[in-house]
Structure 1
Amino acid sequence: MQVITIVQTKGGSGKTTTAMLLASAALNLGRSVTLIDGDVNAQLGRWRDSFELATWESAQKPDWPESLAILSPPESVEGLLSLLEAEEARGVDLVVIDTRPGTHTDTEDFCLISDLVLIPARPVYAEWDMTHRAVLWMDDLRASIAEGERFPAVRVLVMDAGPKIIDAATREGGMAQLPKRDQDVLQEILRLDHLDVIVPHSRILEQLGYHGPLGPAARANAKAPGGRLVADAITRQLEVAELVLTGIDEVIPA
């Protein structure tokens, strides 16, 4: 069983969106997923409610996947360890823990019991400081544990990137399209340990609460009259999510 904790030092950084994308990819690959919502705004915990309350127009809304559970975190490390043991015993393949913003002790506990700490990073100047702080925080946490003790892998995930950012990162000469400050930020992010996938900006990202897990949403819209364009957009986002999960599998094999 893979355990991933998602951290950032500021709210609105894409932590919950990242958790939803990972769940969507894993479900589409036939894996069983448990999400643990440790954030104060509980957006992840309300994902199913948001989906159930959404009014779909032409498409028949699918049932919520039985292989996706969303839980609140126990109050103690011991309780969390017991919960993870129980989830593994019932055959869960992936646990993703969303955390509250800031550098909190309980978030550090989540990190230390994980296989991977994932830091979502929007590659723009205004967001760089919080990504840098999150990376330094993980470095300090690593330095605080005894030599030889297990520590999770740490990776940055470039999230919500516009076309110019993607061109800059993937196409020769593309960097020149960016303002100098954004060039500097992107170069700094790419120097960090990062997954070799960039998640593009999309309206689908903004509407994950409405769509629910992406695989069932894509299939439902594909069957609906006039739903092909929406289905294609969801499918493209799902394909990116699966690439992210493939990158994670290379770091921490499933």
Structure 2
Amino acid sequence: MTVLTLANSKGGCGKTTTGRMMAAILAMEGADFAVIDADPNRALHRWLANLYEGPAIVHKAEENEDRLAHLIAEMRERHALVLVDTAGFENLGSSVAIASADAVLIPCMSSEADLFESRRTAEKVRSLSVTTRRKIPAYVVMNGIRATSVSAYATQQIQEAGLQLLTTTFGRRADFEAVTLTGKTPKSGEAWRETMKLLRELRSLGVMPEARQRVEA
């Protein structure tokens, strides 16, 4: 049973939006998974509870680090995948979610602040790997990319920092913004294709269960 934690100590990098898209498509695929929102703002939990339109998704919200540790352990016994969203700042809940993870996904935009905090988050993953005495792989996915030159510079910075960069990138799409305000997940277009590519890449790395059923655009 896999725990995949979305983490970055920089707010606004796309963790929750990525979580929304991933969860909605996983539900369409009939995946056996649960979502835990460990962010005190509970944006993902509110979206799933109040706006989301699609197959049912098991979701919980818990920002208290002690209760969060037990909740993650409980959910991983029940489901093939537990997707954990964390706060856009460093706190104990984020550390618990990272320490409990089998892999960490670090969404990162191309600003200096995002790159700086992504490196800090990756270092936190490394230190918690030492603490827990097991390897916790971390993968960076570039988000909100507009210009090729900016993307190339950000990619270079990530690679020079020794971080593992996914080939999947997310553009700055209107569909991603629309998803935050509606419960409807796009089933075509670039936002859909980018999210599907991310799921395929994570599956190739062994940190995402295979789809139970094929979802067509």
Could you say which residue in structure 1 is the equivalent of 2:108?
Answer: 121
CA gap 1:117/1:88 in 2 versus in 1, 3 angstroms? closer
Q: Bigger shift: 107-116 or 29-38?
A: 29-38
CA shift for structure 1 position 240? 1.6
Could you say which residue in structure 1 is the equivalent of 2:72?
Answer: 84
CA shift for structure 1 position 155? 0.7
CA gap 1:153/1:9 in 2 versus in 1, 3 angstroms? same
CA shift for structure 1 position 183? 4.8
> Is the 2:36–2:83 contact (alpha carbons within 8 Å) kept by the matching residues of 1?
yes
- Larger Rg computed on CA atoms: 1
Could you say which residue in structure 2 is the equivalent of 1:26?
Answer: 26
Could you say which residue in structure 1 is the equivalent of 2:183?
Answer: 212
Could you say which residue in structure 2 is the equivalent of 1:51?
Answer: 51
Deviations 1:10-30 (A, max 9, x none): 221111011112212322332
Could you say which residue in structure 2 is the equivalent of 1:11?
Answer: 11
Instruction: Return 5+ residue gaps in structure 1 as ranges.
Output: 53-62, 166-177, 219-231
Amino acid at match of 1:188: Q
CA shift for structure 1 position 140? 4.6
Deviations 1:140-170 (A, max 9, x none): 55246548811311010011212x33xxxxx
State how many pairs are aligned. 206
CA distance, structure 2, for counterparts of residue 188 and residue 83 of structure 1 = 36
CA distance, structure 2, for counterparts of residue 95 and residue 129 of structure 1 = 28
CA distance, structure 2, for counterparts of residue 14 and residue 147 of structure 1 = 28
CA shift for structure 1 position 205? 0.3
> Is the 2:107–2:140 contact (alpha carbons within 8 Å) kept by the matching residues of 1?
yes
CA gap 1:76/1:134 in 2 versus in 1, 3 angstroms? same
Determine helix, strand or coil for the equivalent of 2:142. Answer: strand
Determine helix, strand or coil for the equivalent of 1:24. Answer: helix
CA distance, structure 2, for counterparts of residue 85 and residue 99 of structure 1 = 16
Determine helix, strand or coil for the equivalent of 2:27. Answer: helix
Could you state the TM-score of these two structures normalised by the residue count of structure 1? 0.70
CA gap 1:243/1:75 in 2 versus in 1, 3 angstroms? same
> Is the 1:35–1:71 contact (alpha carbons within 8 Å) kept by the matching residues of 2?
yes
CA distance, structure 2, for counterparts of residue 104 and residue 69 of structure 1 = 24
Determine helix, strand or coil for the equivalent of 2:21. Answer: helix
CA distance, structure 2, for counterparts of residue 64 and residue 21 of structure 1 = 12
CA gap 1:147/1:19 in 2 versus in 1, 3 angstroms? closer
Could you state the TM-score of these two structures normalised by the residue count of structure 2? 0.80
Amino acid at match of 1:186: T
Amino acid at match of 2:75: E
Determine helix, strand or coil for the equivalent of 1:34. Answer: strand
Amino acid at match of 2:153: D
CA gap 1:51/1:138 in 2 versus in 1, 3 angstroms? same
Deviations 1:26-69 (A, max 9, x none): 223321332211112221111134426xxxxxxxxxx5412x12
1:100-139 equivalences in 2 (<5 Å): 100-123=87-110, 127-139=111-123
CA distance, structure 2, for counterparts of residue 207 and residue 33 of structure 1 = 24
Could you say which residue in structure 2 is the equivalent of 1:225?
Answer: none
